[in-house]
Structure 1
Amino acid sequence: MHATPDASPPDPRRPPPRFNAARHCLEANARERGTKPALILVGDGARSEVLTFADLDRAVRGVAAGLLAAGLTPGDRVMIRMGNDADYAVVYFAALAAGLVAQPSSPQLTAGEAAFLLQDAGAAAVVAADECALDPEACRCRLVLRPADIARLKAGPPLERYADTAADDPAYLVYTSGTTSRPKGVLHAHRTVWGRRPMHDDWLGLREDDVVLHAGTMNWTYTLGVGMQDPWARGATTVLYNGRRDPAVWPALIARHRATLFAAVPSLYRQILKYSDLAAHDLSSLRHGITAGEALSPQLLAEWRAATGTPLYEALGMSEISTYISSSPRVPVKPGSPGRPQTGRRVAILPVEGEPEPLAPGETGLLAIHRSDPGLMLGYWNRPDEEAAVMRGEWFTGGDLAELDADGYVWFHGRNDDVMNAFGYRVSPNEVEGALIGHPDVQEVAVAERAVREDVRVIAAYVVPKPGRAPDPDDLLAWCADRLAAYKCPKTVVFLDALPRTPNGKVQRKRLAAEQP
């Protein structure tokens, strides 16, 4: 699937035909702002690592040249299985700079989960931290690079020029949980970085002199995009943190680095309010916070503004298109709504079934964005059936149910499928169920989100034990922890005599949420 419609006039939103995402973010900055900090990576205490734009450009081109010299060719996938350190960013942008396809992944994945992604993508190489386990069989006949190798490549001869890629050439492949039991790859083109430009003003309120503190880890597309690609596209500075996860650290980092924008998920803002002494820190540099990944409750919005005097601007998006609905300094907030379509975005509400004719304001249907949007994915990796399922004529539908009000604001009404949202990560219940059903004491299992507070939801496992068995909840949770990334694991287990089902035998997940442990 390509986002360029046939026989259309030139679109000013589209990038030049020859376009490289890494060059767009780094080359001009290295020339015009070479001594300016691009990335400040902060650890525990006073320790920090600073890369200027010149440093970053040089390291990226060194690794890019080394990857090509090792025998990789344009279009080869490079899986990145590293911790939250500067080399993650360097390898990611180096792959793009060389015309390769970056495949970011989480270090939380088990060796088995990582092996599936490696094999499904047909990756030619994997770059892994020393502590990240790799499946030897999955890595057979593939180039494997560790931190010492990356250090050697950074110091080697640099790539003379960034790859002359087409805007529609593949740039990166991210895996997301869908409605199947296995994650699916979402393939993006170099033009996706250009397609992010509407959010710079209509969500982030981003300026060249900004210092953006992002609370996410580098493997997450939220961090790769808002934490690096967007600031660097405007010449701004990024601050990331790789120390221990303590909510109280974020106000201290804002004050220490004079951050002007802070990006996080709503659950972290909630934790900061609960566990931090905001009055002990000088937050006068902060213009506003930005948030995505989960719905922002009106209560949290009001509490944050009361405590800090700064607003929160929310955005709604997905792996396939990133964020395209948002509020911002120039799009007034309506509590409970993520905002309006960003400038230049063609957004509509379509009927769940039938002809893809946009519905009138106030009617609920599938939230859709026009396939001409330059930020839209190229398609699902080797999943033509799933790709066809999300296309409705000229529209892409990601499964969100919503309505538009008379002012153009979007009101979210959940999902049309069963995909869960665990602290900003999309998680397939099928994948979690597939891990739990292998436990010797489990007869049946279903997984669903359960509300623990008004604005907090967690993954719960609803288990029917085998006759005569009495599994321990902690044992089941440990079983999951050995097979799934931490963010995919259930937080609670509920035992049932039987799962609620429809007359046709389908599990009724909405009824599960009413079951109490």
Structure 2
Amino acid sequence: MVSADRHPPPRFNATRYCLGVNAEARSEKTALILVGADDAVESLTFAEADRAVRGIAAGLLARGLRRGDRVMIRMGNETDYVLVYFAALAAGLVALPSSPQLTPAEAAFLMENSGAAAVAVGGGCVIEPADLGDRILLDGAAIAAMKAGDPIPDYADTAADDPATLVYTSGTTSRPKGVLHAHRTIYGRRPMLDHWLGLSEADTMLHAGTMNWTYTLGVGITDPWSVGATAVLYNGPRDPVVWPRLIARHRATIFAAVPSLYRQILKYGDPAAFDLSSLRHGCTAGEALPGDVLDAWTQATGKPLYEALGMSEISTYVSTGPTIPQRRGSPGKPQPGRHVAILPVAGPPEPLPPGETGLLAVHRSEPGLMLGYWNRPDEEAQVMRGDWFAGGDLACLDAEGYLWFEGRNDDLMNAMGYRVSPNEVEGALIAHPSVAEAGVAELPVRADVSVICGFVVLQPGAEPDADALIAWCAERLAAYKRPREIRFLDALPRTANGKVQRKRLAAAAGARST
């Protein structure tokens, strides 16, 4: 079991914690396996990963980057993504993971907003020269040369509170906001190792996500490395059939994915046809776990499936797991050692008693809590209630400590585990010349699945063309942000003050034939 110490030492470097210790204690153990198309395998030992990371770190510093400079990573699921990420932290820089699905315009916004000093790019990811400006561009050849160069002799002597990672998530405006995390955040993940993942040095973790996602970077790589376990990631065609085969081939002991992928595996992947005897349990986050998926997975595999709740600002802090029994309909309990409460929606931030609904909140003393929003002091003020961070979820804790959701206090959507701002999608739709007004909300398509839907009022004389609007958004938004459905309305439902009532959009569309 991992030590219960909640806080790291004052001087703490996250890469030393995840990689440097392993390079000394278990240098020849496999740290990372990356499976590609046709089952091609690339692997690194802890010693090889450590050497490559320190080489890249030296190369970054040799190019004039200074403590705290941001390094944006624009790659797919590539080994270099992991190495550049940890190299930035090793050098005392700030890593900015980004999605390969971003359009060039979205990538340009992140570069500009973050003030990135360098951008590392991988295959298929585009950076427009005009957007790059005087930033340092690090392509595959440059990264390879840095890996082969002289390494830094030691990791940067960073404080636990020094900035380490900047991740962008949807906010309440039309542009994503940066969430800035310190080196201590990685140490702050320790409660989930025992109480959700059940993770130890003996494990092999297979994660189904892409590296830019904090779920994948955290659970798929950082957490296994923090205990000396092996991480397995996949970079081939996204076919649900592949996952049981990968579990069997690589003798994965833990598998992590979103609930919707578990459903696809059960429908198309035929897990009973593979030897899953190595698997101890599955883990899931990013979306609520439907009861029928839990039942079907358990019946098909004989393995438990543990759920967790988290967010970009604090990671996963509520879960079921080896020490927290499942309770149908609840994502679990706050992990032991966490400081979680339910606060009144209005009034003094005094924790409510069990059974009362309010804002789900985490105390600012949590080492995993963000440093703050990047250049968004106004939004920080909105989420801090005294000594508590409250992200907008409405919930209650029952007498036994289990969490029960009651919805959100805002309109953020959940698309395949990503939080998406309706403002951002609405901004893309309203820019189309045929669109007079637009509202965006989740649209249920079956009992446990919703998609992003655009509700559109057309300009006079314009013809309804849903496919054209979806294609328009595809040129301007990452795939996970794009509307999957378009509904045409005569008018958007609004309050007396003129505010669009997003929660009424689906009902308004249902009242009008399209």
* Both proteins in one fold, TM over 0.5: yes
- Deviation for aligned residue 1:135: 2.6
Amino acid at match of 1:466: Q
| Alignment pair present for 1:225 and 2:218 | yes
Paired residue for 2:194?
201
| Residue correspondence of structure 1 range 195-344 to structure 2 within 5 A | 195-344=188-337
- The correspondence for 1:353, drawn from 332, 346, 354, is 346
- The correspondence for 1:184, drawn from 177, 190, 194, is 177
Q: After the TM superposition, which of the residue ranges 340-349 and 11-20 deviates more from structure 2?
A: 11-20
- Across the two proteins, how many residue pairs are aligned to each other? 507
| Residue correspondence of structure 1 range 451-466 to structure 2 within 5 A | 451-466=444-459
Quote the Cα distance in structure 1 between the aligned partners of 2:494 and 2:69. Answer: 45
Percent of aligned pairs with the same amino acid: 72
**What SS is found at the alignment partner of 1:209?**
coil
Q: Deviations over 1:166-203 (max 9, x none)?
A: 00000010000011100000000000010000000011
Q: Deviations over 1:139-169 (max 9, x none)?
A: 1111111011000000000110000000000
- Deviation for aligned residue 1:234: 0.4
Q: Deviations over 1:227-286 (max 9, x none)?
A: 011000000000000000000000000000010000000010011011111221011111
| Alignment pair present for 1:511 and 2:504 | yes
Paired residue for 1:97?
90
- Deviation for aligned residue 1:504: 1.2
- The correspondence for 2:433, drawn from 437, 440, 454, is 440
- The correspondence for 1:426, drawn from 396, 419, 424, is 419
Quote the Cα distance in structure 2 between the aligned partners of 1:46 and 1:381. Answer: 40
Q: Deviations over 1:395-423 (max 9, x none)?
A: 00011110000100001122111000000
Quote the Cα distance in structure 1 between the aligned partners of 2:6 and 2:126. Answer: 42
Paired residue for 1:479?
472
Paired residue for 2:7?
14
- Asked whether the equivalents of residues 451 and 483 of structure 2 are also in contact (C-alpha less than 8 Å), the reply is yes
- Deviation for aligned residue 1:223: 0.5
- The correspondence for 1:493, drawn from 479, 486, 495, is 486
- Asked whether the equivalents of residues 68 and 163 of structure 2 are also in contact (C-alpha less than 8 Å), the reply is yes
| Alignment pair present for 1:87 and 2:86 | no
Quote the Cα distance in structure 2 between the aligned partners of 1:83 and 1:378. Answer: 27
Quote the Cα distance in structure 1 between the aligned partners of 2:118 and 2:36. Answer: 29
Amino acid at match of 1:137: A
- The correspondence for 2:54, drawn from 34, 58, 61, is 61
Paired residue for 2:136?
143
- Asked whether the equivalents of residues 464 and 488 of structure 2 are also in contact (C-alpha less than 8 Å), the reply is no
- Deviation for aligned residue 1:45: 1.9
Quote the Cα distance in structure 1 between the aligned partners of 2:297 and 2:392. Answer: 30
Amino acid at match of 2:406: H
| Alignment pair present for 1:403 and 2:357 | no
Q: Deviations over 1:50-71 (max 9, x none)?
A: 1110110000000000000011
Q: After the TM superposition, which of the residue ranges 500-509 and 397-406 deviates more from structure 2?
A: 500-509
**What SS is found at the alignment partner of 2:129?**
coil
- Deviation for aligned residue 1:83: 1.4
| TM-score where L is the length of structure 1 | 0.97
- Deviation for aligned residue 1:12: 4.0
Paired residue for 1:5?
none
**What SS is found at the alignment partner of 2:44?**
strand
Quote the Cα distance in structure 1 between the aligned partners of 2:19 and 2:5. Answer: 22
Q: After the TM superposition, which of the residue ranges 44-53 and 325-334 deviates more from structure 2?
A: 44-53
Quote the Cα distance in structure 2 between the aligned partners of 1:471 and 1:165. Answer: 56
For structure 1, the 5+ residue unaligned runs are: 1-10
Amino acid at match of 2:399: A
Quote the Cα distance in structure 2 between the aligned partners of 1:102 and 1:307. Answer: 40
Amino acid at match of 2:126: A
| Residue correspondence of structure 1 range 37-48 to structure 2 within 5 A | 37-48=30-41
Paired residue for 1:369?
362
Quote the Cα distance in structure 2 between the aligned partners of 1:200 and 1:490. Answer: 36
Quote the Cα distance in structure 2 between the aligned partners of 1:189 and 1:130. Answer: 29
Quote the Cα distance in structure 1 between the aligned partners of 2:141 and 2:123. Answer: 9
**What SS is found at the alignment partner of 1:246?**
coil
Q: After the TM superposition, which of the residue ranges 275-284 and 103-112 deviates more from structure 2?
A: 275-284
Amino acid at match of 1:358: P
**What SS is found at the alignment partner of 2:131?**
coil
| TM-score where L is the length of structure 2 | 0.98
**What SS is found at the alignment partner of 1:15?**
coil
Amino acid at match of 2:209: G
**What SS is found at the alignment partner of 1:475?**
helix
Paired residue for 2:44?
51
- Deviation for aligned residue 1:391: 0.5
Amino acid at match of 1:349: I
- Deviation for aligned residue 1:131: 2.2
